[in-house]
Structures are given as C-alpha cells and as structure tokens.
C-alpha cells in the first residue's frame, strides 16, 4: 500500500497531461458460476452505458452522478491492476460487482471478473482475470 504523502505529491505538483495519448481502454466483465473450478464462458459487461441519455439527464448528472463516478474509479483500478496487480484494486472491483449483485441472492455463488482492453486499432485483449471468490465472502457493507 502506498503511503498517503506519496499519493498527495502528484496533486500538489500536477502534470496536467489530460488525454495526451489515447491508450487502450478497459471494460470490466464478470461471470458467475456454481463451482470454483467451473469453466467461465458467459462474461457480462459490468454496468454497460445506456443506449441514449437525454440532455436533461446529462445536466442532472452535474449534481448527482455517483454510479458513473464509481465506474470511472473502476477504470482507474483496472488500469492500476494491469500495471501493478494489488489486492486493493482487485478487492475494490469485487466489492462493487458483488454489491450490485446483492439484490440477486438466487444467482450463482462464485464470482469472477476480467479486464478486457479495447485498443484504437479495434483489438480486444483480456489482460487480467481474477480468481473466483465466493460472493458471500465479499464484504459489501
């Protein structure tokens, strides 16, 4: 775990290189299974964006946008996980998927996720896949 002072430094001496290079972009996908060693082949995109959003809805998100901001946080976690795998990044993604699935107690008990990266040339590559965890073991409180 990085210490908070080292995490603060880039904010106090910022680089401001927004969108300097358009890199491969991650998508979080998850799969459910009845057993830990089951073959995972039915991957589902986590929180796919809506087909359309009205201008009023876009403006409303100026004031209330928690799910989208959480999705952007997961993009950061995904990029960090691929650069330098940590338990923290994996835990954060597991917790949020499990929290969304909490309303489906009848769903299969084992949960896994993978990070699919889309590149500018249209390529799609899975760069990370987490070992399955029991949904009941994931703290969503």
Partner 1 sequence: MSFDLALRLTEALLALALIQQGLEHLRAFRRERILFGARIVLCLLVLAGVAQPWPLVALAVLSLLILQRFQGPYNGGSDRLGLLALWCVTLARVLPVEAWRELAFGYLGVQLMLSYFISGWVKIVNPDWRKGLALRQVFAFSAYPVAESLRGWAGRSRLLLAMSWAVMLFELAFPLTMIAQPSLMVGLVVAATFHLANACLFGLNRFFWTWLAAYPAILWLQQRLF
Q: Write the binding mask 9 to 38 for partner 1: x where contact by CB under 8 A, - elsewhere.
A: -xxx-xxxxxxxxx--xxx-----------
Q: Does 136 bind partner 1 (CB under 8 A)?
A: no
Which of 34, 37, 103, 141 binds partner 1 (CB under 8 A)? It is: 141
SS3 119: coil
Measure CA 36 to chain center: 21
Percent helix, strand, coil in the chain (nearest 5)? 35, 20, 45
Instruction: With contacts defined by CB under 8 A, name the span among 32-40, 45-53, 103-111, 129-137 that binds partner 1.
Output: 45-53
What are the residue ranges of helices labelled H in 13-134? 55-60, 66-83, 87-101
Neighbours of 29 (CB within 10 A): 20
Residues forming the site for partner 1 (CB under 8 A): 1-5, 7-8, 10-12, 14-22, 25-27, 49-53, 55, 58-59, 61-66, 68-73, 75-76, 80, 86, 88-89, 92, 95, 99, 118-120, 122, 140-141
């Amino acid at each position: 775990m990085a210490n908070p002072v080292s995490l603060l430094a880039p904010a106090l001496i910022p680089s401001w290189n927004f969108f300097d290079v358009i890199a491969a972009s991650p998508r979080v996908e998850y799969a459910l299974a009845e057993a830990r060693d089951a073959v995972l082949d039915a991957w589902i995109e986590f929180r796919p964006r809506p087909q359309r959003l009205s201008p009023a809805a876009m403006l409303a998100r100026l004031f209330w946008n928690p799910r989208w901001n959480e999705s952007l946080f997961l993009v950061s976690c995904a990029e960090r996980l691929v650069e330098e795998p940590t338990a923290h990044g994996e835990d954060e993604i597991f917790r949020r998927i499990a929290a969304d699935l909490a309303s489906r107690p009848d769903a299969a008990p084992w949960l896994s996720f993978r990070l699919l990266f889309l590149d500018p040339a249209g390529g799609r590559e899975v760069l990370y896949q987490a070992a399955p965890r029991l949904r009941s073991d994931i703290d969503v409180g």
